Amino acid sequence: MLARGPRKGKRTSRSTKSEGDGDATIADIPHQIEGQDHYAQTLREFEKYADLPFLYGSRSAIYADMLQGKKEVSRKTNVGKIASFAKALRAFQKKFKTTIDSPDTFDRRFPYYCLDLYANSGNPQKNYHHFERIAITAGVPRNLIPENPFAFKRGAVRTAPSDAEARRALNLAKHDAWEIVKRYDQAIALHGLGRHPSRDKGGKRGDADHLENRLFACRDMMAQGIFGETELYAKKLWGILGALRERPGAIVIDPARGPVRLNGAMAHVHFYHPSPHDLFPFVTILLLRGMLNLATVCETKVTDKWCTPYPYVLDPADSEDLVMIVLLKHRGSAQPETITKGADRKLATGTPNEVKFPSSTRPWSHPYRVLKFLVELTQPLRDDIERCISLLRSKKRRTPAEEQKLNHLTTIKDDLLIYRTKLGVGSLREATKIGATRSMVKMLQRYGLSGQTRELRDAGLTSSFRASGWNLMVLRMLASHKETGTSSLYARRRQTIDAARSAMKDVAAKALVLARSSRFSTEQLRKTLAAQGLNPSQIANVTNKKKRTRFESGCLDPHKPPPGFDRGTPPGEACRLQDCIDGCDNARFLPQSLPHLIRERLKYRAQLQFIGPLAASTSILTARIQNLDALVGEFPARAVQRLEQKIEKELNVRHQKSQSYAPE
């Protein structure tokens, strides 16, 4: 019988033994020998790093992480990375006349040396990433290595809602949430009122027309463990059925239509047990205001200590108005409690990271009050779950269905976002394990968004990022990221970058008046400003030479700077900040502003070069230089070049004079 041959394009090794031999084929043995030879050969290649004890002593760990099992192309690439690391290490040891023998004697100056070394390379982010990988593999503690400050060349393509879209979504979510708040308050107010409307319970004709009486019957029904008309039919509770059927119940949130009033028994149950759609508006508010991801909100439990005193209060009188919200971030890498050396990070057990942000305790739609209300809203359902669990546990023999129900209820009883539907009790933690539900997507689309919950987090981060002057460190604190590199993922989002560029283009288009005009006159300036739709008072302010800013630019209203540019300026006084280049809508740059803009750009470039790449990654200098590039770019290129050369020459002469007068 013919044996099946190998597939096309596949090589096969022939066995040197006959089929009758009981031993295994010898096809595997050359492969094993080849692997051993390659390991030995690779370690022999490390002999050229014998003068570098740090690298040579870690050769086995580096081989296991970067070379073992790799394809030939990847292997050659990683060998080049190791050679680059060795070159940098030799240069560092020669310059500072020191030797790094092991991870225990690791010199903290070495990473900063590499930062400066790679700053002007073709791909500094990737080069420093390779340095990090080799150093950590060799055993250097992660906290001794500065984070990668260089941005990736390729940006992410995700988008985020604009401020107007996010504000509209927040207002619609607040409108929906307020309906649930009013429904809850109504149920509380009617709790001690009313009587049973059934004839067999002493009810009279017309009692079922009053809501307080129907809620009395609803509570009686729920106490018997009944939550729908089907069960009422089955148990022949005609009195309750007649009181609740086809009569208006609670207002609930429909994902596509918004708040609607339903009829029937389940509609009355929702006065006490929320539906999943009733929770979505509150989740939306938390995602927008807390800048959280969906998993963080849905994983929250009532047993968590989600609120602590605000630690940064300056005025004791304000101490009761602010608290710190503390939630658990289950996405990403957890904080390992114990990781043995060489253990896989994925196998290490750990606790989730904490996400902290401040919240006011006064407004009802701020995170603290929202979380507090959700605990109160779901408490009646939680009490019913506890009652059902006790009932099931009291049974000595449970059916498989009862056992499954007990496990399910025990799993979700402490979840914050629990709900009831016609199918039973559920939790958003379980419903959103693979992402937002269809109903949540529909609701977000009704709010004017795409339906992706991550956009809600991005909207808050983008708005705060822009308000901070595009400061990456501020974004990192708001996003609760351990590494600046993670924050740069948000900062590189298309919407963030496009918003920055388009905002500055709009400002440059409006602010630069007659920048390319060969003739400048006050009359021509007035005509240009009038064409922009400015009123006579604003035109007078711009043309008034006594009201020029430190950039020799005009201002539409010096005594009323826009929000964000009014910091430190008392009401009614002239603008003290004068950060016109950050995108102030009141600014109007004139031809005489060009020397000041060029000087400012040269100053920021020098500062950026002085502080180095690590500090630059968390500075607003880069953003300001980009803003100035947009403004200066509106002027004729030849004029800018000549003026820049002239100013640079003046600054160099001034610097040389100051050096000559400096005391020895």
Q: What is the largest CA-CA distance in the chain?
A: 107
- Provide the 3-class DSSP secondary structure of residue 418: strand
Lowest mean pLDDT among 30-39, 214-223, 344-353, 430-439: 30-39
Interval 296-327: pLDDT, tens:
899 999 998 898 887 765 555 555 688 888 88
Q: Which two tokens stand for residue 417?
A: 């976002």
Percent of the chain beyond pLDDT 90?
Answer: 17
Q: Is the pTM of this model over 0.85?
A: no
The larger pLDDT score, comparing residue 523 to residue 490, is at 523
Distance CA 522, CA 551 (A): 18
Q: Which two tokens stand for residue 404?
A: 């499954």
Spatial contact of 481 and 148, defined as CB atoms under 8 Å apart = no
Check the CA dihedral 149-151-152-156 and report its sign.
Answer: positive
For the chain, what are the domain ranges? 32-144, 190-272, 505-659
Q: For 231-235, which contacts have Cβ atoms below 8 Å and span 24 or more sequence positions?
A: 232/265
Q: Which pLDDT score, from 0 to 100, does residue 45 have?
A: 75
Spatial contact of 62 and 45, defined as CB atoms under 8 Å apart = no
Q: Which of 84, 124, 143 is nearest to 613 (CA)?
A: 124
User: Tokens 């708005």 label which residue?
Assistant: 463
DSSP secondary structure of 18-51: -TT--SPPTTHHHHHHHHHHHHHHHHHHGGGGTT
Sheet with 353-360: list strands edge to edge: 307-309, 322-329, 353-360
The larger pLDDT score, comparing residue 267 to residue 239, is at 267
Spatial contact of 277 and 254, defined as CB atoms under 8 Å apart = yes
Check the CA dihedral 68-74-75-81 and report its sign.
Answer: negative
Contacts of 181 (CB under 8 A, 6+ apart): 364, 373
The whole-angstrom distance between residue 248's C-alpha and the CA centroid of its chain comes to 42
Q: Across all residues in the chain, what is the average pLDDT?
A: 76
Contacts of 79 (CB under 8 A, 6+ apart): 45, 67
Asked if residue 275 has pLDDT above 90, the reply is yes
Q: Where are the alpha helices (DSSP H) in 57-162?
A: 59-66, 72-96, 109-119, 124-137
Interval 122-173: pLDDT, tens:
788 888 889 999 999 998 888 788 777 775 555 444 566 777 788 888 899 9
For residue 358, list its beta bridge partners.
Answer: 324
Q: Which of 276, 262, 204, 265 is nearest to 237 (CA)?
A: 265
DSSP secondary structure of 225-291: T--SHHHHHHTT-HHHHHHHTTSEEEEEEETTTEEEEEESHHHHHTTTS--HHHHHHHHHHHHHHHT
